[in-house]
Amino acid sequence: MWLVLDHFSRTLIDAGIANAILLSVIVVVVVFTRQPARRVVLAQTGVYAALLMYPLVASNPSLRVYPVDWLLRTGVVPPPLTPEPNRFDFVGPVVPGPAGRTPPRGRPAASQAEWPSGERLVRVATLLYLAGASVGLAWFGLGLWGFQRLLGRSSEARPETRRVFDELIADLERSPPQPELRVSTWLRSPVLGGVTRPTIVIPAEIEEVDVDRDALRLVLLHELAHADRGDAWFNALAALAQIFWFFLPHLWWLRAQLRIDQEFLADRKAAGPLGETTHYARWLVGLSSGRASRALASRKLDAAPTPSRSWIGRSFDTPMLQRIAMLLYCPFVVEDRPPRWFATGVPTAFMLAAVALSTFRILAPVDSTVLLHEAQAADPVVRSFQVPEFVVVPARPNDGRPNPAYVLPLPLPTAFNLQAEILATPRALAQIRIAGCPLLPESEAQALLADAAPDDVPPTNHAYTLRHEYRSLKASIDGREFDLDPRILADAHWLTITPALDETATIRDLLINW
């Protein structure tokens, strides 16, 4: 169970970060795009990308890119900027083996092999996400059930209303299938719903005997404009994307902007056949004033109340004011449809970017086989190398090279953190080198070697650390930190241990993380 949850958590994190990057770019482009039709295309592209991102990340393509791992390995980002793994999270029961080789590892629990740090936090966050998404899906399903219940209690439109509706469809030359028209006493304003078959539901008050024909045409034209653009089913997709990625504010903003732009375009299309947008704007003002649908429908458009001037000078921070401003004071020609190059090229470019971002991995993938084999330095989950015990004996001269170094089977990473316990005398500490780096400061080592007096001090334990960061190399012995020249590692390709000339030392629990 936990292994499946960890798989889901890692995929969700990667997909969420990819979505955040892509949607941020889309939001910026939407902000600088003034045509509502083009903004709708951008918002729809963002919704499609958000819905497809998790399947793209989980589909396991052959190409994998690990940017964080690359930054750490190249030294661009210092290791301290990321949580350092605990060695006990990686290595299980240690079986003594040959020096310099990675020790065999027992089979640890799943929690020890999959998350180097933050295991509980990530799992709790994932469970909270699943709970939030479940609540959102339940609310979405309740909305679908409520609309179906509304349709079940609705009735057929009167012949007069149906005649106006059929005339509009004939004038607009709409191709089948046509949306259905229903009447409900439960509504106060018209709505368009239905995913597979769009249905326009109007309030029963609009069908009164004294209904105004032009007002009814406005209502039906507006809803038909939504049906022509497929707003009903796409709003359902946008709702699902918002449910699955409810923690991303980008989708909340895009969905709100999408609704406003859809209303802009529907208003323009509804007001167009009448030839005068002022009448439609007055009708919108009356609608926003809270009048009942019957009063609005029965009143002649010419007798509609004059828009109040109280909003003049205020920012257009409400959707209704923005709709009225677009109708009356739009400074540019509004496109009914975006250009073909925009409708095809821009979504294609963003979807290709989504595919590229889906190959990025922030965390190393969960490899279930890591639980069944010995730890290897190349494991994607285990980025560490450990030597339980290494006896450093003086080496014999070889081919004229005094004191050759022992070479361990580990290519030296560009950035790493090494720690070890060393049992040695002070003179041995002054001579031993790990990866070519001294264990003591240069002045202290020279002073110990210059002392000709016999050293009767018994070997003692010392804690040694070596940290190579971006343009920085620091060592520490028993808590005393000192700087080293990073050029020491310029020609180092393997992890080496250089012994003392005449003394034996023991290195225990040598652990290098990178």
CATH number at residue 458: 2.60.120.560
In a domain, 176, yes or no: yes
* Helix (H) or strand (E) segment spanning residue 496: strand 494-498
User: Residue 222: inside a domain, yes or no?
Assistant: yes
Domain boundary among 305, 323, 340: 305
Exposure string (b/e) for 78-114, b if CB count within 10 Å is 16 or more? Answer: bbeeeeebeeebbbbeeeeeebbebbebeebebebbb
Supply angle C-alpha 228, 231, 232, rounded to 5. Answer: 110
CA angle 50–54–55, rounded 5-degree value:
115
Whether 171 maps to a domain, the answer reads: yes
Domain span at 456: 384-513
Domain final residue pick, 249, 272, 305: 305
Q: Closest Cα to residue 429, out of 398, 401, 397, 455?
A: 455
283 with 405, same domain?
Answer: no
| Domain presence at residue 329 | no
Query: What local confidence, expressed as pLDDT, does residue 289 receive?
Result: 55
The label of the residue with tokens 């375009």 reads 265
Tell me, yes or no, whether 251 and 400 share the same domain.
Answer: no
On whether residue 494 sits in a domain, the answer given is yes
In this prediction, the residues of the chain whose per-residue pLDDT falls under 70 are 1-3, 60-62, 69-119, 209-212, 273-279, 282-318, 363-383, 395-403, 452-455, 470
* Residues 182 and 293 reside in one and the same domain: yes
- Domain-located, residue 337: no
- The pLDDT of residue 254 is 94
Residue 489 domain flag: yes
Residues 389, 277 share a domain = no
pTM of the model: 0.61
Instruction: Give the pLDDT of residue 99.
Output: 44
288 and 174 within one domain: yes
- Residue tagged 């439960």 (tokens): 186
281 assigned to some structural domain: yes
Number of domains the chain is built from: 2
Q: Which of 265, 289, 305 is the last residue of a domain?
A: 305
